[in-house]
């Protein structure tokens, strides 16, 4: 394992622990200590982080149509595909800030359309924010101030395992806040993490995801002091909803958490808007903030990088004939699903997870996780290092307020995404 003497802690003669930031979810915990001996030990990490740091490199060879080749040949083939393309789609985009900078540079040269693999979810939040604004908070504020957590449509810990440990049950807060209460307004999930260290169980209001639009509308009506001519809304008693509202109003700093990736319902953006409207209404008399959970695979980093370089998050397009000037943005037409019908080349990138590309009739270049498996071998596959494990990088936490460095934790045997993209770009220049 690669060793940085300045970041190393020696516990005994045999085990050296290196401090690390974990990129396996949007919390980006930076208190991990990762061992240098096999089996690799991960201190402070959750099971998800242990899987991340313990993964082995299974494949180091680029390939063309499933046949191994050297890196130069693969880069040349990828360059040729993009050179002959007039409407390439760069999708997946599972990477961190430095990788995304290289993606943007190549996209500008190639005139590509960009879409992140989780945009279908992210766009729901963006649409709600663009339409009416929102009041959201940061993880630091949750840690130091929140005295009530209301989780809507999510158990939180399935996607962000240490949320309660680090931000809710933490004793190291700045303002001596009371032990927070927790309410789950959600279908069944892992709600046990909402039980406080002193045994106080969370309030659970069971609500199916498909019913959340109606339930959120009812909560908004009640927040405006309307009387509902019903005893229950989609199976949830109005009395329970009134009790939830009363707890939010009584809290000093309530935080409403949702995961748009869990809202697999038509027009989920309207439900997000309903949540943000409730937050705005309640803020007239008390303090309530929203906290949207991210979907992962670098989505926050990718969209921030895209926004500062082009003015838009992904689902944007570089116009190759107006280099340095024109970008377009279209949350519907520039989706991967739509562009797969029109593009004449697909570049799929997934470095954190071995997510394979969608099926496409267009020539396909895949750059990403070495374990990626294909039902149909792409024209070109180039395995690259995993950020935070094989290579260094920078990543935004899910609240976008903090960017953290990722370290290379082991000897590098694969090129970085940026290395490969720069080589391809040289062929297009």
| 423 vs 429: CA distance, rounded Å | 10
Q: How far is the CB of 167 from ligand SF4 (least distance, A)?
A: 10
> Shortest gap between Cβ of 31 and ligand SF4 (angstroms)?
9
Residue number, 132 or 158, with CB nearest to ligand SF4: 158
Q: Tell the smallest beta-carbon distance from residue 382 to ligand SF4 (Å).
A: 26
Q: How far is the CB of 166 from ligand SF4 (least distance, A)?
A: 7
Cβ of residue 192: shortest distance to ligand SF4, in angstroms? 16
Select 116 or 160, whichever has its Cβ closest to ligand SF4. 160
Q: How far apart are CB 29 and ligand SF4 at their closest, in Å?
A: 3
Closer residue to ligand SF4, CB minimum distance, 18 or 268 = 18
Whichever of 233 and 406 has its CB closer to ligand SF4, that residue is: 406
Bridge-based pairing state of the strands 327-329 and 148-152? unpaired
CB of 397 to ligand SF4, least distance (A): 9
> Is the Cβ of residue 16 or residue 49 nearer to ligand SF4 in the bound state?
49
Burial label, 127 (beta-carbon count in 10 A; 0-12, 13-18, 19+): middle
Give the C-alpha separation, 203 to 244, whole Å.
9
Residue closest to 55 by CA, chosen among 377, 385, 298: 385
The angle formed by the CA atoms of residues 47, 300 and 171, to the nearest 5 degrees, is 50
Smallest separation, CB 226 to ligand SF4 (Å)? 40
Closer CB to ligand SF4, 29 or 152, in the complex: 29
Q: Which residues are at the interface with ligand SF4 (CB under 6 A)?
A: 22, 24-25, 27-29, 45-46, 48-49, 160-162
Which residue number, 27 or 150, has a Cβ lying nearer to ligand SF4? 27
Contacts of 318 (CB under 8 A, 6+ apart): 107, 108, 110, 111, 112, 114, 310, 326, 327
**Shortest distance, CB of residue 21 to ligand SF4, whole angstroms?**
8
**CB closer to ligand SF4, 165 vs 211:** 165
Q: Which is nearer to ligand SF4, 45 or 94 (CB)?
A: 45
How near is the Cβ of 247 to ligand SF4 at its closest, in Å? 26
**Which is closer to ligand SF4, CB of 161 or CB of 370?**
161
What CA–CA distance (Å, rounded) separates 339 from 85?
14
205-208 long-range contacts (CB < 8 A, ≥24 apart) are: 205/236, 205/240, 205/241, 205/244, 206/235, 206/236, 207/153, 207/234, 207/235, 207/236, 208/234, 208/235
């Amino acid at each position: 394992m690669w060793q940085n003497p300045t970041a190393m802690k020696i516990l005994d003669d045999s085990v050296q622990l290196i401090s690390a930031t974990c990129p396996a979810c949007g919390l980006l915990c930076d208190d991990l200590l990762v061992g240098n001996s096999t089996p690799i030990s991960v201190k402070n990490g959750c099971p998800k982080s242990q899987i991340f740091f313990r993964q082995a490199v299974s494949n180091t060879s680029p390939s063309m149509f499933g046949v191994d080749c050297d890196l130069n040949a693969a880069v040349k083939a990828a360059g040729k595909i993009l050179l002959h393309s007039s409407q390439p789609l760069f999708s997946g985009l599972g990477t961190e800030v430095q990788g995304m900078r290289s993606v943007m540079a190549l996209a500008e040269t190639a005139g590509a359309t960009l879409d992140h693999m989780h945009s279908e979810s992210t766009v729901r939040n963006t649409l709600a924010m663009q339409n009416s604004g929102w009041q959201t908070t940061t993880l630091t504020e949750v840690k130091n101030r929140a005295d009530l957590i209301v989780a809507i449509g999510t158990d939180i810990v399935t996607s962000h395992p240490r949320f309660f440990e680090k931000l809710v049950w933490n004793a190291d807060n700045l303002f001596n806040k009371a032990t927070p209460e927790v309410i789950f307004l959600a279908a069944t999930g892992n709600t046990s993490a909402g039980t406080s260290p002193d045994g106080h169980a969370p309030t659970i209001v069971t609500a199916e995801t498909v019913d959340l639009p109606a339930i959120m509308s009812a909560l908004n009506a009640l927040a405006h002091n309307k009387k509902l001519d019903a005893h229950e809304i989609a199976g949830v008693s109005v009395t329970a909803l009134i009790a939830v509202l009363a707890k939010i109003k009584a809290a000093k700093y309530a935080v409403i958490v949702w995961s748009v990736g869990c809202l697999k319902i038509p027009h989920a953006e309207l439900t997000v808007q309903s949540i943000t409207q409730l937050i705005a209404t309640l803020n007239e008399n008390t303090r309530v903030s929203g906290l949207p959970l991210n979907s992962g695979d670098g989505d926050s980093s990718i969209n921030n990088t895209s926004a500062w370089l082009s003015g838009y998050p992904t689902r944007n397009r570089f116009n190759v004939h107006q280099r340095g000037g024109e970008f377009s943005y279209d949350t519907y037409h520039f989706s991967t699903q739509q562009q797969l019908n029109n593009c004449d080349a697909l570049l799929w990138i997934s470095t954190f997870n071995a997510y394979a590309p969608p099926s496409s009739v267009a020539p396909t270049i895949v750059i990403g996780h070495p374990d990626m498996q294909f039902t149909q071998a792409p024209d070109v596959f180039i395995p690259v290092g995993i950020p935070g494990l094989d290579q260094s990088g920078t990543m935004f936490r899910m609240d976008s307020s903090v960017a953290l460095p990722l370290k290379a934790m082991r000897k590098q045997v694969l090129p970085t995404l940026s290395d490969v993209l720069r080589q391809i770009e040289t062929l297009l220049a």
